[in-house]
């Protein structure tokens, strides 16, 4: 694969959107699966939402497993991570089959609104389960959530996970839009850091009362709901709205 490097920042209008999936578009059972799979490695009660957001969210499965075990002080975290990651995948698939996925209504409305603007959109998640979770869902307009995106780079095998910008730079390249024109919508600090590292604009969605950590990561705007983003400003290529 051709090496993707960030381009220098530029004061130009936003013209494209890149969406994360878990925590932005969907309330998925990833966090629950990581917690339940922890039995035998550490006490699951220690796997808090704050730990998940700070160390695991947005990372590829193996990297997330290592980060979780290391943050909990589990000896030989790297050696045990493969078993933990595999167990987490089994639990996740069971939770998904049991109906453990739902879409955020504000996100579906926002995707429809961006589509009306005519912006190209990409969906970008390190999760290899993202497409299966999105497939049965539809927007208020009736369009398929999975099919509305111009580009889909979910679950790609890349050299680096977030906070490295590789995934988002790939999405921008496939959109054929300069990275500096892209608005990245994320719920995790690592995702915002990846956007900033790629010289993109980061919009943080604080669904877990974590606005401060998203701002600290470099988000240009943090909202508690995507309904709070000003669509008239977005139509002009600017990011504005009611901040969290």
pLDDT exceeds cutoff 80 at 58: no
One domain, residues 108 and 225: yes
Is 199 or 127 the better-scoring residue by pLDDT?
199
> Which DSSP category does 12 fall into?
-
137 and 82, same domain (yes or no): no
> What six digits make up the tokens of 71?
């943050």
The residue among 60 and 200 whose pLDDT is bigger is 200
For the residues of 154-205, what is the DSSP string, one character each?
Answer: TT---S--TTSSHHHHHHHHHHT--GGGEEEEESSHHHHHHHHHTT-EEEEE
For residue 68, pLDDT over 90 is answered with: yes
| 207 lies in the same domain as 165 | yes
Cβ-contact 203, 70 below 8 angstroms? no
Contact between residue 6 and residue 110 where contact means Cβ atoms under 8 Å apart = no
Query: Has residue 37 got a pLDDT over 60?
Result: yes
- Pick from 67, 137, 51, 149: which is nearest to 102 by CA? 137
In this prediction, residue 11 carries a pLDDT of: 58
Q: Tally Cβ neighbours within 10 Å of residue 232.
A: 8
Q: Is residue 179 part of a domain?
A: yes
Say if residue 114 is in the same domain as residue 227. yes
Asked whether 184 and 53 are in contact (CB, 8 A), the reply is no
Question: Is the same domain home to 66 and 133?
Answer: no
2-29: per-residue pLDDT in tens? 445 544 444 579 999 999 999 999 998 8
Q: What is the pLDDT of residue 7?
A: 45
Closest CA to 148 of 184, 195, 99, 108: 108
Domain-ending residue, one of 82, 97, 112: 97
**Same domain assignment for residues 162 and 73:** no
Picking from 97, 131, 146, the residue at the C-terminal end of a domain is: 97
Q: How far apart are CA 217 and CA 207, in angstroms?
A: 16
Task: Classify residue 173 by burial, with Cβ atoms within 10 Å: 0-12, 13-18, 19+.
Answer: middle
Residue 216 and residue 230 share a domain: yes
**Residues 22, 116 within the same domain:** yes
- Residues 224 and 135 both lie in one domain: yes
According to the model, what pLDDT value does residue 4 have? Answer: 55
Give the pLDDT confidence score for residue 213 in this predicted structure.
94
In degrees rounded to 5, what are phi and psi of residue 33? -65, -45
Adjacent-strand bridge partners of 223 = 205
Q: What CATH number should be reported for the domain holding residue 226?
A: 3.40.50.1000
Per the domain annotation, does 191 fall within a domain? yes
Q: Residues 45-60: what's their mean pLDDT?
A: 88
Q: For all residues of the chain together, what is the average pLDDT?
A: 92
Average pLDDT of 73-95? 95
pTM (predicted TM-score): 0.84
Contact 122, 17 (CB under 8 A): yes
Look at residue 53 in the predicted model and tell me its pLDDT: 84
Neighbouring CB atoms inside 10 A of 19's CB total 23
Specify which residues 204 forms β-bridges with.
Answer: 186, 222
Each residue of 146-205: pLDDT tens digit? 999 999 999 999 999 899 999 999 999 999 999 999 999 999 999 999 999 999 999 999
Domain count for the chain: 2
Higher pLDDT, 183 or 133: 183
Range of the structural domain that residue 166 is part of: 16-27+102-235
Q: What percent of the chain is predicted at pLDDT more than 70?
A: 95
241 within domain boundaries: no
Residues 35 and 54 grouped into a single domain: yes
Tell me: do 229 and 147 sit in the same domain.
Answer: yes
């Amino acid at each position: 694969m051709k090496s993707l490097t960030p381009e220098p920042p530029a004061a130009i209008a936003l013209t494209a959107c890149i969406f994360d999936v878990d925590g932005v578009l969907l309330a998925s059972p990833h966090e629950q699966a990581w917690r339940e799979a922890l039995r035998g490695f550490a006490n699951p009660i220690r796997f808090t939402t704050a730990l998940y957001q700070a160390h695991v969210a947005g990372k590829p499965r193996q990297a997330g497993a290592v980060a979780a075990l290391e943050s909990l002080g589990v000896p030989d975290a790297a050696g045990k991570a493969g078993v933990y990651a595999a167990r987490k995948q089994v639990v996740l698939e069971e939770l998904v089959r049991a109906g453990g996925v739902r879409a955020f209504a504000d996100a579906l409305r926002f995707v429809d609104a961006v589509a009306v603007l005519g912006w190209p959109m990409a969906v970008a998640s390190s999760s290899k389960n993202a497409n299966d979770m999105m497939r049965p869902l539809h927007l208020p307009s009736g369009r398929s959530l999975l099919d509305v995106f111009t580009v889909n780079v979910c679950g790609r095998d890349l050299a680096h996970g977030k906070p490295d910008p590789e995934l988002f730079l790939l999405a921008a390249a496939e959109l054929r839009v300069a990275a500096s024109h892209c608005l990245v919508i994320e719920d995790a600090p690592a995702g915002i850091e990846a956007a900033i590292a790629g010289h993109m604009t980061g919009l943080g969605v604080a669904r877990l009362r974590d606005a401060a950590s998203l701002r600290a990561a470099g988000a240009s705007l943090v909202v508690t709901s995507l309904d709070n983003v000003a669509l008239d400003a977005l139509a002009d290529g600017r990011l504005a709205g009611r901040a969290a």
